Structure 1
Amino acid sequence: MPTPAMAQSAFDGTWKVDLSKVHAPKKPDVLLLQNGMYDCKTCAPAISIKADGTGQQVTGHPYFDMMAVKVVDDHTIQETDKKAGKVVATSTMTVAPDDKTATFEFTDSSNTNADPVTGKGTMMRVAKGPAGAHAISGSWRTTSYGNVSDNGLTFTYKVDGDSLSMTSPTGQSYSAKTDGTDAPYKGDPGTTSVSVKKLDKNTLQETDKRDGKVISIAKMTVAADGKTMTIAVNDKLRGTSMSLVAAKQ
């Protein structure tokens, strides 16, 4: 008697994030550039370095160990991150003349084993910085992303029995049981293990850890028609939450 074919999981396939359906964290980023010093107060851990364009050592960040902040003009800064002497990320932030919005562009290979992820975005000011500080100072909320390269937006899931495998174009991968037990997370300097729990046939919960400490929890829910997946992410390091929608390719 022939064995019936196993029904394909709703998660199987390659997914791509829809940038128009990304809801960035409401908690703002808090920056200060004043008296020759740059402070990122909401970085985890916080960063405070000289803003003289030269590399400054930073600790506690798995993706980079050196940062340089260069003041281009009174509304623009450039940041360069390095790890072990190699440039892993660059970004430029420019505040609009009205000081109410800002744009940013980035290239990031700090979490990739292939081509860097590139993109840009917009920010809205929610609080001003102190008098006399550089225009980037204050509290900023990201409002949109644009032109992000496909390698930073796509990922592939494969369900085999009670196991879920994930791969991405930037080199991250894991294969975990869907019973909540820990498994190695490969290719990401900031994530060492992962656990996946099946909540129902269309819902999974992923917990990422760094050296045993939970750093983020993501709940992935596939729509009834199987065409989209809503992902709600709780960033435990920064105390923020965001959501996004990915479409099956």
Structure 2
Amino acid sequence: MKKILLAGFAGSLALAMPAHAASPFDGTWKGDVASAKLPDKPDVFLLQNGVYSCKTCTPPYSVKADGAFHPIKGQPYFDAASVKMVDAHTTIETHQKKGKVTNTVTATVAPDGKTLHFVFKDLSAPNGKVVEVKGSQTLVTPGPKGAHATSGTWKNDKVESVSDAGITMMLKDDGKSFTMTTPAEVSYTASYGGPAVPIKGDNGGTFAKVAKPDAHTIVETDVRGGKTVGIYTMKILRDGVMAITSEDTLRGTKTEFAANRQ
């Protein structure tokens, strides 16, 4: 918070007018999907003999691919998973937490077997907003003989589209604390250098703490179970343009993209 002192008449009359000096972070921001630099670390999936395994998930898990829900341990955002084989090239994976569907992933492999197209739908928002992400991955190494077409090692190719609710956030920096809110009603307000606070609307039980190393940089550190799980660095490049780096510290991956103030 700052004050602007207006002095006139050669200092004989001073009028102090309080004003909220806007932070360069204040406002509504929208991520630029086209600018995204995706992680280089590939994903490894295996669907064979009626069992689906996500080898590179943190932690890895396996589930029968019979279309029924089966319990999953160790995942913060779901406690049950269902995998359905639609056909030789398509699967649908659905996650639940406490009996409520949290997200679905439809994966379809192109006829040549070299490209995997996915549609991810996040259904966990407190206000019911659905966030949809569409993208593709490129085959690095095929799965074993006889495995489903989705099996193999896949590298991120591109994100084609993301619902506005998934790439929009409202930010407020008052000099002492930082507030982040999304259209899906996920939010927090944390003091700079203070303790981690619960992220409201996050069904994984994640907490956030923030630091402001300089006037144009804010760093959010996400913590779950006392362990750092993610680091988000927001840096103002110029008025209305921000660079965001998202680090998944559990998996050791990084995503970079730009955001523009609306």
Q: CA deviation at 1:112?
A: 4.5
Q: CA deviation at 1:3?
A: 3.6
Amino acid at match of 2:246: V
Equivalent residue of 2:254, what SS? Answer: strand
5+ long unaligned stretches in structure 2: 1-14
Show the counterpart of 2:130.
116
Structure number, greater radius of gyration: 2
Show the counterpart of 2:91.
77
Conservation of the 8 A alpha-carbon contact between 2:187 and 2:200: yes
1:156-184 CA-partner distances (Å, limit 9, x unpaired): 10111311111111121111112253223
Show the counterpart of 1:138.
152
Amino acid at match of 2:154: W
What is the distance in 1 between the residues matched to 2:205 and 2:27? 23
Equivalent residue of 2:165, what SS? Answer: helix
What is the distance in 1 between the residues matched to 2:196 and 2:63? 37
Q: CA deviation at 1:90?
A: 1.6
1:37-92 CA-partner distances (Å, limit 9, x unpaired): 10001111111011111111111122211111111111111111122222221221
* Equivalent residues in 2 for 1:9-20, closer than 5 Å: 9-20=23-34
Confirm whether residue 214 of structure 1 aligns to residue 225 of structure 2: no
The two structures have a TM-score, normalised by structure 2, of 0.90
Equivalent residue of 1:21, what SS? Answer: strand
Show the counterpart of 2:240.
227
Confirm whether residue 183 of structure 1 aligns to residue 197 of structure 2: yes
1:83-125 CA-partner distances (Å, limit 9, x unpaired): 2222221221011111111101122113554311113111111
* Equivalent residues in 2 for 1:91-130, closer than 5 Å: 91-130=105-144
Equivalent residue of 1:151, what SS? Answer: helix
Structure in which a larger fraction of residues adopt strand: 2
Find runs of 4+ consecutive structure 1 residues off by over 3 angstroms: none
Confirm whether residue 197 of structure 1 aligns to residue 214 of structure 2: no
Tell me the C-alpha RMSD between the 2 structures: 1.5
Aligned residues with identical type, % of pairs: 48
Amino acid at match of 1:83: K
What is the distance in 2 between the residues matched to 1:19 and 1:12? 21
1:162-221 CA-partner distances (Å, limit 9, x unpaired): 111111111211111122532232210224321111011111111000122110011111
Amino acid at match of 2:212: K
Show the counterpart of 1:242.
255
The two structures have a TM-score, normalised by structure 1, of 0.94
What is the distance in 1 between the residues matched to 2:31 and 2:244? 10
Show the counterpart of 1:171.
185
What is the distance in 2 between the residues matched to 1:38 and 1:184? 33
Equivalent residue of 1:181, what SS? Answer: coil
What is the distance in 1 between the residues matched to 2:20 and 2:203? 36
5+ long unaligned stretches in structure 1: none
